[in-house]
């Protein structure tokens, strides 16, 4: 069986070949994939992650923290999708732009479908929306405007999101569409519904079914985003603020008692 020192040397060589970045940024699963063995086999060979790190230190490896392959690949994929659309994004092109190998992308993320999901999860506005609603105000219109603005800003900063949403609608059985439908939309509906429930109890919003309330909130911004993306429009910050205010005013008029 190879010694831990031998494994350390082999991993260094393969990381350089694959452009996998610093080994310190890789987990055991990723190291095992890079080495071409299972996680359990790798652990039998090295004993523990601490022993592997010690062997790397003995070899004079002092790796400065760098951006992981997964992070570089996701960023590169988002840029390529914005330029070429979802259909024009290939793993080979992503690897070239991220300065890594396709093997390294498979090791850290998975195949093309998982990369698309990773891009959508990172750049979609869900986290910003959650941040807005973590401190909701008593002003329904102000909260709605803030939500619409973070959505518009996210789409402006990462045009790939609108392209991916359109792709999910066009290919409803794809892994991306299933993720959007079964994970992302479910989370978003719950977030908006809990926010609106507070205003329903205050008597500011009519007690309509959640699905209807969320549709009234989400329908206009979805149409706005997809139509602008299809036209290739890039609204300015002032235009986005104006649109957010108009959407919020329309929403409040639609749901108030």
Any idea where the domains of the chain sit in the sequence?
A: 4-59, 69-121, 124-255
For residues 223 and 250, the answer to whether their CB atoms sit within 8 Å is no
Is the model's pLDDT at 25 over the cut of 70? no
Measured between its terminal Cα atoms, the distance across the chain in Å is 74
Given 1.10.10.10, 1.10.10.60, 3.40.50.2300, 3.90.1640.10, which CATH number is that of 69-121?
A: 1.10.10.60
| Sequential DSSP letters for 23-42 | GGG--HHHHHHHHTS-HHHH
Q: Which two tokens stand for residue 183?
A: 């994970």
Taking residues 116-136, report their average pLDDT: 90
- Residue 138: how many other CB atoms lie within 10 Å: 10
The confidence score (pLDDT) of residue 49 equals 74
Is the entire prediction scored with pTM above 0.85? no
Task: Please state, for a pLDDT cut of 90, what percent of the chain lies above it.
Answer: 49
Given 1.10.357.10, 3.50.50.60, 1.10.3720.10, 3.40.50.720, which CATH number is that of 124-255?
A: 1.10.357.10
137-181 pLDDT tens trace? 889 999 999 999 999 988 888 889 988 988 998 999 999 999 999
179-218 pLDDT tens trace? 999 999 999 999 999 999 999 999 999 999 999 999 999 9
pLDDT band at 54, cuts 50/70/90? confident
């Amino acid at each position: 069986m190879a010694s831990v020192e031998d494994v350390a040397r082999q991993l260094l060589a393969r990381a350089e070949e694959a452009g996998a970045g610093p080994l310190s940024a890789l987990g055991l699963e990723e190291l095992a994939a890079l080495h071409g063995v299972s996680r359990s086999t790798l652990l039998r060979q090295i004993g523990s992650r601490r022993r592997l790190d010690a062997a790397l230190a003995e070899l004079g490896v002092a790796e400065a923290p760098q951006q992981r392959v997964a992070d570089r690949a996701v960023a590169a994929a988002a840029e390529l999708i914005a330029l070429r659309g979802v259909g024009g994004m290939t793993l080979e092109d992503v690897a070239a732009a991220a300065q890594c190998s396709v093997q390294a992308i498979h090791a850290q993320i998975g195949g093309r479908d998982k990369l698309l999901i990773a891009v959508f999860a990172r750049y979609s506005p869900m986290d910003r929306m959650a941040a807005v609603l973590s401190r909701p105000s008593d002003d329904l219109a102000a909260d709605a405007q803030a939500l619409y603005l973070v959505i518009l800003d996210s789409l402006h900063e990462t045009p790939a999101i609108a392209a991916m949403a359109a792709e999910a609608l066009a290919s409803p059985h794809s892994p991306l569409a299933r993720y959007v439908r079964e994970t992302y939309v479910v989370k978003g509906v719950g977030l908006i519904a809990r926010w609106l429930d507070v205003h329903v109890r205050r008597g500011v919003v009519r007690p309509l079914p959640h699905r209807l309330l969320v549709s009234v909130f989400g329908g206009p911004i979805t149409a706005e985003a997809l139509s602008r993306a299809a036209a290739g429009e890039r609204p300015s910050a002032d235009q986005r603020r104006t649109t957010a205010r108009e959407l919020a005013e329309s929403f409040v008029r639609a749901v108030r008692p």
